[in-house]
Amino acid sequence: MTATAFDSLRLPVELLDNLHTLGYHQMTPVQAESLPPMLEGRDVLALAKTGSGKTAAFGLALLAGLDASAFRVERLVLCPTRELAEQVADELRRLARGLANVKVLTLCGGQPMGPQLASLAHGANIVVGTPGRIDEHLRKGSLTIDTLRMLVLDEADRMLDMGFQAEIDAIVAATPASRQTLLFSATFAGLDEGDDAQLSQGLDVVRNPVVVRVAERH
Ligand code: ADP
Ligand code: MG
């Protein structure tokens, strides 16, 4: 595969400058395949192994069209664990460094509610969290996602394995039908051609997705 520069994408110049500062010049394969359809507004289901750059793939898509002048939750990223949510939020903050007024808020279980409620009262553009706690905030009314434009399910297979289907269903039901949905997952040894269909069926959240599958070769 030929290397593809981030410069070939129609990304805001502040984001491109920031990528250069971070030392990201060439897209990884999953980024090169998933970013064009994501930037066109398509739903994407991407399967690629751990360490292949999935966070920056969906992260750039989330940041590219963000209207940070409107201080409302436009993007939500669901992750299986607090540790992963914090890693994703850190990467989003790094990627967003050149952009003005982008507030990334993490909402995870096992953390006290008070500071989360205080942060929510101040508002955010991007929320990253675990399904249980996000669902809890929706029930309490402390988080509303009726202005959501993009939903990401990161490590979707793990969230299902951990039994988060009901919480994910409740969260999805609270989003506008017009949202764009991005589902990212790692591949496993023995993954067969049917698994991506099963994954999206199990979650039933992506519509007519572009399927990106980066083969593992050792
Ligand atoms: P995954 O979610 O697929 O497991 P990550 O998103 O955590 O992978 O990325 C793995 C590492 O690769 C991170 O340290 C990240 O900073 C780095 N990375 C991602 N994209 C690029 C890129 N295009 N160029 C250089 N490094 C990158
Ligand atoms: Mg990841």
Give the model's pLDDT for residue 95.
96
H/E stretch holding 4? strand 4-5
Whose Cα sits closest to atom 17 in ligand 1?
A: 53
Give the model's pLDDT for residue 169.
95
CB atoms within 10 A of CB 142: 15
3-state class of 93 per DSSP?
Answer: helix
From edge to edge, which strands make up the β-sheet containing 210-213?
Answer: 104-107, 126-129, 75-78, 150-154, 180-185, 44-47, 210-213
Between the CA of 27 and the centroid of ligand 1 the distance, in Å, is 10
Residue 23 in domain: no
Give the model's pLDDT for residue 193.
62
Residue 8 in domain: no
Residue 202 in domain: yes
Q: Is 115 exposed, middle or buried (0-12, 13-18, 19+ CB in 10 A)?
A: exposed
Q: Which atom of ligand 1 is nearest to the CA of 154?
A: 2
Nearest to 96 by CA among 117, 116, 75: 75
Number of domains observed in the structure of the chain: 1
Between the CA of 105 and the centroid of ligand 2 the distance, in Å, is 18
Residue 169 in domain: yes
Residue 165 in domain: yes
Whose Cα sits closest to atom 26 in ligand 1?
A: 24
- Please report, as a single letter, which amino acid is at residue 16: L
**In terms of DSSP H, where are the helices of 162-213?**
165-173, 195-203
Q: Is 99 exposed, middle or buried (0-12, 13-18, 19+ CB in 10 A)?
A: middle
CATH of the domain at 104: 3.40.50.300
Question: Along the 218 residues of the chain, how does pLDDT read in single tens digits?
Answer: 457 999 999 999 999 999 999 999 999 999 999 999 999 999 999 999 999 999 999 999 999 999 888 889 999 999 999 999 999 999 999 999 978 889 999 999 999 999 999 999 999 999 999 999 999 999 999 999 999 999 999 999 899 999 999 999 999 999 999 999 999 999 643 455 667 777 777 778 999 999 999 976 54
Residue 143 in domain: yes
Between the CA of 53 and the centroid of ligand 1 the distance, in Å, is 3
Give the 3-state DSSP-derived string for 15-76, with helices as H, strands as E and coil as C: HHHHHHHHCCCEECHHHHHHHHHHHCCCCEEEECCCCCCHHHHHHHHHHHCCCCCCCCCCEE
Beta-carbon contacts of 218 under 8 Å, excluding residues fewer than 6 positions away, are: none
Q: Does the global pTM surpass 0.90? A: yes
- Please report, as a single letter, which amino acid is at residue 74: E
Residue 135 in domain: yes
Q: Which atom of ligand 1 is nearest to the CA of 6?
A: 23
Give the model's pLDDT for residue 217.
59
Q: Which domain holds residue 147?
A: 29-213
SS3 content of the chain, % helix, strand, coil (to 5): 45, 15, 40
Give the model's pLDDT for residue 100.
82
Residue 7 in domain: no
